[in-house]
Structure 1
Amino acid sequence: MIDKRADPVAWSIFMHELEDAQEHLASLCKELNSNCDYSDIEFQIDIAHVYSHLNRAWHGRNATEKQSDDDNLWNQWSQFPTDIEPLT
């Protein structure tokens, strides 16, 4: 796990991803509660956005500052993790 004292930039980017996921999920919940015409495609787009933030947080949880700034890793880290098992 990132040490916020040793890698403050990487920590900041990690926390930004989690906070963005939280913000977008709250917005999604509000939209679902208020918009009776909310479509399946809109939900797919919005939930994929939330997943992207969560995926980057997961993949970047051990990142260094240099890795956090790597655009190639950012795209890779946006993908759903293969090293985590869903809990049932």
Structure 2
Amino acid sequence: MIDRNLQPVEWSEFMYELEDAKEHLANLIKEIEGDAAYDESNLRIDLGHVYAHLNRAWRRSMRAVDKRDWDSASQFPDDLKPI
């Protein structure tokens, strides 16, 4: 895992992704609870957005992610198995 003291820029980017995922997940929960019309298509979009942040956080926890790798960094990691 990256070191916050040795790699402060990378650490900041990693934490940004986690904080943004947290914010979007909180908004998703608020919308589901408060909007009776919230449906599966909204969930797919909103949850996909949260996953993209978490996926980038996973990749950024190990190294800096170049802008050219943004799309691939947003994909579900193949080295992280769900439990």
TM-score of the aligned structures, taking structure 2 as reference length: 0.95
Aligned length: 83
Among 63, 66, 78, the alignment partner of 2:74 is: 78
- The Cα offsets for residues 28-70 of structure 1, whole Å up to 9 and x where unpaired, read as 000000001101111100000000000000111111xxx33x1
Cα distance in 1 for residues equivalent to 2:19 and 2:11: 12
- Runs of 4+ with deviation above 4 angstroms: none
Paired letter, 1:3: D
Structure 1 alignment gaps of length 5 or more: none
User: Where does 1:3-18 land on structure 2 (aligned, <5 Å)?
Assistant: 3-18=3-18
Identify unmatched segments of 5+ residues in structure 2.
none
TM-superposed deviation, 1:76: 1.2
Question: Where does 1:12-27 land on structure 2 (aligned, <5 Å)?
Answer: 12-27=12-27
CA distance in 2, matches of 1:54, 1:62: 13
Same amino acid, percent of matched pairs: 49
The alpha carbon displacement at 1:78 in A equals 0.4
